[in-house]
Each structure stands twice: as C-alpha cells, then as structure tokens.
C-alpha cells in the first residue's frame, strides 16, 4: 500500500503517509499541556505525522474550554513532554497554531484577554463554557491595525516556541472559520482598510503570517490548513472564492511551505467541496498536499494512487484507534469513538482506547 510507504516531508522522513489530523480534545487544564496529553499523542505515534489540536498563540487566541496555548514557559514545558514522548516512539509531530478570533467567549479566556475579529460580526449560536455552560457568542471587537500587527507577531512567537518545545514544525490554521479564515472570507471581513475588500487585501493577514513564520523557523517546517467552501462557524461560499483560494495556494507555494492541508467536511454534513477547486489548489500550490475529510484506508489509498495528494489525514478514526496505521496494514476492524467524550476532561474516551492484537495475523 502506498499509504504505508515512507515519505520525505521537508527535512524529515515520515514512516507512512497516514497523518493524524488536528483534533480539539479539551484536556489542557489551565491551557497547559500535561502528562495525560503526552500519553495520548505517544499512543498515536504510529502515524507518519501527528498534527496537534489547535493551539492558541496568545490569550486572545483562546476559544474553547481547556484548549492549550503555546505562549508561556509553562506551556512550552508541557509541550516538551509531548514532543519527547512522540519522538521516543519514533514519531513526528507538528503543532497547529490556531487563533480562534470571534469563535470564543470571555469565560474561556483569562482576565484581560479580548475576543477579536476582522469585523464586529458575532457568530450565531452558543459556545460551551465550564463556568456557565452554553453561552451566546459575544460580538467581537474589530481589530485595529495595531492589534492585527500584534496578532501576526503572536503567530511568529508561537512558531518559535513550538520549535523550542521540540516540534518538527507548525501548521498555520487558516481553515474552519477561525481568525485567519475570518480575514479571508468577505462574510466575516467587512473592513475598508488594507486588510479588507479585494482578494489581495483579504489575503494580506494570512500571507503576512506565513511570510514571517517561514522567515522565523523555515518554510520546510511550516504547513498551512485551508477549507475552501467550508461552512463551519458560519462561513460558506462567496463570490470569487475559487480565485481567492487559487491565489492563496499559489502564494503559499511560492513561499515554499512544506505542505498544504485541505479540509472537506462533507462526511460531517457540510456541502461537498467541488473537485475542481481541489485540483485548482493542488496545481497552484505545486507542493505536498495533505487530503482530509471522511477518509478510510481504501479511499486514502485511492487518493494517493491518483496523485491528488501525497499524504492523507484522519481525524475521528485516530481518536478511537491509536494504532490506526497498524490496523490499515493488517486490515483490522476499526473501533468506533464515543462522541460524548470528545471534549470532556480526563482519560476516559481519550487514552483508554485499546490497540488491536495482531497475534493471529
């Protein structure tokens, strides 16, 4: 199987082409990575590449309850436990840097942090908080140019801290309706300055983040995740969307980013992402593509054989099958995850999923 073959990604060699997709799991008490998280990632080090859950580059970037950060010494030390455990198990791991922007609530943030976004447009619905349960999303503060500059530098500091913590690289989260995606989409970006309006202006934030992160840690250690046609967090298609993502992919390719990670949530009920835009993005980027979204072993293998992607990412299967690559190798049944325990604190539904026996294989 091509899925189980080695792949050279930048300066590292992946032992297979299965990627563990970033998965919010809400186990970081006080937003600090811990021993339980180190065990969780180490259990899944059989993947060719692990990409961590979305991790805040600053207090302003915190969204959900109990998500980790990468802006304090305590967090760097906590992540060092994770990277050491993964590397001891012959794994490779990237940190996903996620500033949630308007997808947040003050109850999930430390005192003094602010819910910021390109424009003062509130997300519909409610967000869970440990303090008061479900709460309506607040109207975010529209970012000043100075706050935009500060946020860009927070990504850079986060990337540097990730390398300090022992990560093999970082993934810039520009998908699923979080801050970078909020700048890209005219649904959430109504600005009249140099960060809003035209395609060039709406891409300015994510391009500046990518430029400065690659300058700080190297393009060979920097990837990016995008979700064209994604509808998560109140986003969706807009006029000029194909041209926007073609231009974005081309710019990322010119920077030499080590991969472009595309999201397709059709299996979770979202509209299908047109194959045409996937192909456009792939050609415009010209480098390693990670495909994700509802894949199984057979569909991933087909994508790899077709040349539509070089790597394939799996989310929920990795939650309940820490030895997913081994199960693919031996054609073993997969364990179904308990969705009620996706975001709860503690080991249950997190580190207690069994590995499969291959004694009879």
Catalogue the active-site residues: 178
> Is 13:56 a contact under the CB 8 Å cutoff?
no
DSSP state of 85: H
Residue 304, H or E segment: helix 297-306
Contacts of 360 (CB under 8 A, 6+ apart): none
Contacts of 352 (CB under 8 A, 6+ apart): none
Contacts of 300 (CB under 8 A, 6+ apart): 3, 17, 18, 291, 312, 314
> Is 226:281 a contact under the CB 8 Å cutoff?
yes
DSSP state of 111: T
> Is 158:55 a contact under the CB 8 Å cutoff?
yes
């Amino acid at each position: 199987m091509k899925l189980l073959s080695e792949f050279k990604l930048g300066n590292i060699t992946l032992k297979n082409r299965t990627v563990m997709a970033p998965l919010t799991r809400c186990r970081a008490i006080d937003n600090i990575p811990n021993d339980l998280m180190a065990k969780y990632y180490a259990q899944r080090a059989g993947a060719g590449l692990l990409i961590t859950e979305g991790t805040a580059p600053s207090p302003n970037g915190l969204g959900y309850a109990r998500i980790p950060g990468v802006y304090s010494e305590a967090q760097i030390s906590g992540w060092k436990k994770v990277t050491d455990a993964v590397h001891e198990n012959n794994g490779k791991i990237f940190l996903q840097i996620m500033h949630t922007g308007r997808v947040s609530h003050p109850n999930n943030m430390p005192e003094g942090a602010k819910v910021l976004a390109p424009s003062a447009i509130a997300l519909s619905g409610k967000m869970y908080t440990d303090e008061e349960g479900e709460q309506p999303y607040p109207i975010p503060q529209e970012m000043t140019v100075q706050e935009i500059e500060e946020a860009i530098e927070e990504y850079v500091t986060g990337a540097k801290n990730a390398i300090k913590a022992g990560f093999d690289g970082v993934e810039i989260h520009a998908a699923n309706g979080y801050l970078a995606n909020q700048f890209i989409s005219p649904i959430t970006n109504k600005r009249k300055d140099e960060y809003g309006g035209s395609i060039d202006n709406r891409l300015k934030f994510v391009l500046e983040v990518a430029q400065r992160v690659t300058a700080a840690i190297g393009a060979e250690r920097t990837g990016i995740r995008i979700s064209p046609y994604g509808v998560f967090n109140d986003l969706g298609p807009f006029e000029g969307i194909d041209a926007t993502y073609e231009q974005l992919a081309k710019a990322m390719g010119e920077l030499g980013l080590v991969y472009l990670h595309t999201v397709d949530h059709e299996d979770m009920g979202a509209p299908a992402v047109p194959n045409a835009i996937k192909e456009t993005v792939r050609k415009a980027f010209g480098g390693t593509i990670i495909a994700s979204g509802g894949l199984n072993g057979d569909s991933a293998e087909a994508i790899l054989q077709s040349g539509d992607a070089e790597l394939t990412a799996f989310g929920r299967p990795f939650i309940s099958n820490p030895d997913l690559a081994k199960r693919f190798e031996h054609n073993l049944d997969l364990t179904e995850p308990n969705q009620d325990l996706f975001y709860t604190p503690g080991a249950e539904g997190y580190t207690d999923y069994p590995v499969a026996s291959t004694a009879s294989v």
